Structure 1
Amino acid sequence: MKSQLPKVLHPVAGQPMVSCVLQAARRAGVQQAVVVYGHGGELVPQSLQATFSDLSFARQEELNGTAKAVEAALPALSADCREVLVLCGDTPLLDGQTLQDFIDVHRCSAHQVSILSAVIDEPASYGRILRDPEGQVTGIVEAKDATAQQLAIKEVNSGIYLVQRDFLQWALPRIGCDNAQGEYYLPDIVGLAVEHDKGVGAVACADYTTTMGVNSRQELAVASQVLFRRKCHELMAQGVTIIDPERTCIEYNVQVGTDTTIYPNVYLERGTEVGHNCLIRQGCTLIASRLGDNCILKDGSYLEEASVGNSVSVGPYAHLRPGSQLDEHVKIGNFVEIKKSTIGAHSKVSHLTYIGDAQVGRDVNIGCGTITCNYDGFNKYRTVLEDGVFVGSDTQLVAPVRVGQGAMVGAGTTVTEDVPADSLVLSRVRQKVIGGWAARFRHQQNEKS
């Protein structure tokens, strides 16, 4: 990955890839999870504990093979654990149903070891499943140790095993490191099981992509695309219209209501909630935001940690920053920025305006080019516009300031003091007309030239 971040923490479709694996395990009914991390991987437990409060962790002191990684985890297992499911933290496409089916097959067999395998046309660096003429599993050979004939095998080891605990504890100390890498390979338990007639089975998954490992940025991008596509198809099955699923990015924990339509190049992330019957046009981004029912987001709008009520129109090219709250039937127009402000019901901020650290009441109209001057270089101050206020274009509201209910602010005004209710405030210079001045000026300029 060419990164200082541990590989399993690289995000795929909005979450660390190891989180995808843990969620699949939980959906398959796994009761206890132990995450093994290596030297320098302390970020792994630090990152996961916030999301998975009941995880156990084991540190592999020496990175000398997968068998030693599993061996490090055994002491953390509960005493009543009888089966050990071994998963790889870099397989984010794994799903709970695939694991559940694998577990069910193992439990219906007499095998001590079951392997989740996959059939791939171009197996590349995956270990190959070896079978005898009767089709029984006889071992696994790593690609680096395989002969040319073995490399032609298309059934591969996914790295996922289900092993009876007693056999696993017996087998792990007996694994050696006589191989090209000088490492202790977990797949060697298969040979031990065969040698001691313990029973080994390989279960081929229906879709090999579910077991795909991620070892590069390119593969990370492919995995993200698959997960985004899965999420889009899940939402479409629930009654959401997505115009182009191949160009729509919706993270795993996003919720979208029925009869909502989503245009291409939309990104919904970090648990965003979208209501029913909304329209989200192309190029919009919603981060940890909430959108009510019957809302319209026009092209290029960006919402972060914002809350939007029902029947609100936003954009095009509007920016709702963290702490923005829009009540029902609000209109936010093009090139408007809202920051840490509440906009009351039926109010309008139609274009080219900045509203920051403000409380705006109901039925307020804010004209084009209005600015709340909320920062003096040291502190932020509040602006309050009470219900029914009308603000003319090109107005500056110098906070802290309050404009009373029903007051009107004339265009071009700089408001520096509180305005009483139902008043008109003006601060611009009175207009002066000098007849014929322009003609005389042009005449003087022409004579000079």
Structure 2
Amino acid sequence: MTHQISNQAVADLDIARVFHSWSAQGTLKPMAIAGGSGSTVWDFEGHEYLDFSSMLVNTNIGHQHPAVIAAIKKQADVLTTVGPAFANLTRGEAAERILARAGDGFTKVFFTNGGADANENAIRMARLYTGRDKVLSMYRSYHGNTGAAIVATGDWRRIPNEYSRGHAHFFGPFAYRSEFWSSSAEEEGQRALHHLRRVIQAEGAGSIAAILIETVPGTAGVLVPPPGYLAGVRALADAHGIVLIFDEVMAGFGRTGGWFAFQALAENGDLVTPDLITFAKGVNSGYVPTGGVIISPAIAERFDDEVFPGGLTYSGHPLAMASIVGALDAMESEGVIEHAARIGSDLLAPGLAELTDKHPTIGEVRGLGVFWALDLVADTQTREPLPASAIGVLKADLLARGLLPFIVDNRIHVVPPCVVTDDEVTRALAIFDEALAAFESG
């Protein structure tokens, strides 16, 4: 392969002209990506990397899947754009496919441009439906970078952006770093529910429109809820007339080994159906920006005669809808959901557990499907998080060994595409092993 341009030239152009998110612009050193296929990406100089980040945990079907590309191209030849007020066949087909995967209890889809405005509009629906204002969400969460979504977010990014009204936060279950002095997952779930019950009482149950939670908090650390927790949240919401919103932007469409995380978690005894589901990312692997809200009948019917005061110029954009149809059909026919579940249970779960036994730097491994996190520590007894400087050293070594990781705080998130092969997982586990061994020896 002949390379016409250098990585540095691409990075220099990017730094000079592109304003980056969540960054001090003068410290940027972006990695140049030229192309990708499946679970592999490469730069402009021919260096290949196993993509165990799925970019931003969204390329569930992998890079450049031919069925999705073909669907986009076919739609581009027919109609590239249409206003949201018009009926469009591809939009209807995309909604129908999404609802089929969501299961009973949902009748409509409101399409957005991504996950943040999906959460924005779900919050709006809940407020209008209940006539209440307040939204409860977890401190360990991320819901997007728009007005209400960023204030619903629990992490540091909320603090400089708190311009939206009516938000309160609570701690969800996280046994490894418990806020509740628990000694087991069961106790953690029970105490977290007691805490939420008290927050609802203290905030005033009659003022709360919605409880918004990531079914499995992702950026916060892949925090799989203990059995019974989601059912307990559902019961609290029902007891007080509160709308329950599951944010499945990151956890949905194969990531957890189910079409949705709430379905995958049903196997742990939490058979819970929310009132609204928000989605984006994995629904079409980000090939064209899109997202949406999956709506239960009671909330959808509320707006049969009452105007819903919200909309987007690109709601249900034809190219995005075609990419959804192409992606979901391919995931169905190729058994991608089942494959992701098997990769998790048969390869990642035992493989990462073996790494944990070998390396004292790993305090805990947790996850399901192709959604895992290694919680890295400086001390296994105190569970003190590994410092940022050390994480930087590990990240650089992983890249040098040909693996593109997803790093958040003191964690390596192991989040390959749902189509990752057995051999690729085996190779990645070996790279993690080598990098951790080098770090711990030196």
Task: Calculate the TM-score normalised by the size of structure 2.
Answer: 0.23
Relative to its length, the structure with more strand (as a share) is: 1
Q: Which has the higher contact order (CA 8 A, sep 6+)?
A: 2
CA radius of gyration, larger in: 1
